[in-house]
Amino acid sequence: MKRIASISGGKDSTAMLILLYEQGITPDHIVFMNTGLEFPQTVRFVRGKLDKWCKEHFGVGVTFVYPERPFGYYFKKYGVPCAPKGRWCYRVLKRDPFYRWIRSSVKDISITLYVGYAYDERDRFERARREAEKWWEHKGKNVIVVAPLIEMKITEKEAEVICNKHGLLNPIYKYFRRTGCWLCPFQPKSEWFKLYKYYPELWKTAKILEKKSLEMGKRSFRPDKTLEELEREFKVIRTLDEV
């Protein structure tokens, strides 16, 4: 049986790695899905500090897995990802490439897949676990999906404490509550405001993409307002409390 740890560079999956080490569990592979839309700080954190820590503690570095084609290819087909039912990005940029990597790189039939869901996300994890295990069953592999933080009843706040204790908290948390793609359509208005305020170049790119998406007859990121409309609001906002 092979052990695979799937990480995002966020506090939950990083805390998961720390707990696996403390429990004496060594993953055979530690995998980071680089969609091309991750925050630059997250990529640097994973490629630098976290990869070094993994090599020192597990003897295994982080494997970067990439989509078959870049975001721009899929954008021409789908437009921008949109909420609530247009999250094509997860499927083609994360899940499918990760599954392809497993099928091509891990020949074992039995696999334990460790994922970084916190105790706060029990229901979400159960849905994801059932879906993944059923999918792999049809492909002839016995994949058991395990969430160590849930098993130990560790919440997101407690995961952050663990990461801080070990000096392994992604610096992106200085501004954002969660890691992930910077143009995620499911991020709340407050996170879009932070992108506008602290990452103006990424905000500008998101606006351009959304405008092109609408010109193509596709949708905007949000169902209620475009980023252009949000920007007009943001220009008169001084603090995050006003969002």
Strand partners, 82: 86
**Environment class of residue 208 by beta-carbon count within 10 Å: exposed (0-12), middle (13-18) or buried (19+)?**
exposed
Tens of pLDDT, residue by residue over 102-130, are: 999 999 999 999 999 999 999 999 999 99
pLDDT class of 241 with cuts at 50, 70, 90? low
Same domain as 236, residue 126: no
pLDDT class of 243 with cuts at 50, 70, 90? low
Same domain as 214, residue 165: no
- Average pLDDT, stretch 167-183? 94
What whole-number distance in Å separates Cα of residue 102 and Cα of residue 28? Answer: 12
Answer yes or no: is 180 within a domain.
no
Answer yes or no: is 82 within a domain.
yes
pLDDT at 161 over 70: yes
Same domain as 146, residue 195: no
Same domain as 193, residue 166: no
Same domain as 78, residue 109: yes
- What is the model's pLDDT at position 104? 95
Same domain as 155, residue 52: yes
Residue at which a domain ends, from 144, 173, 202 = 173
What whole-number distance in Å separates Cα of residue 160 and Cα of residue 199? Answer: 23
Same domain as 206, residue 121: no
Same domain as 136, residue 36: yes
- Sheet of 142-146: strand order equals 62-65, 29-33, 2-7, 110-114, 142-146
Residue type, 243: V
Tens of pLDDT, residue by residue over 56-97, are: 999 999 999 999 999 999 999 999 999 888 889 999 999 999
Q: Which domain holds residue 84?
A: 2-173
- What is the model's pLDDT at position 206? 98
Same domain as 83, residue 50: yes
pLDDT class of 218 with cuts at 50, 70, 90? very high
Residue at which a domain ends, from 117, 144, 173 = 173
pLDDT class of 192 with cuts at 50, 70, 90? very high
Q: Judge if pTM exceeds 0.75.
A: yes
Cβ-contact 13, 32 below 8 angstroms? no
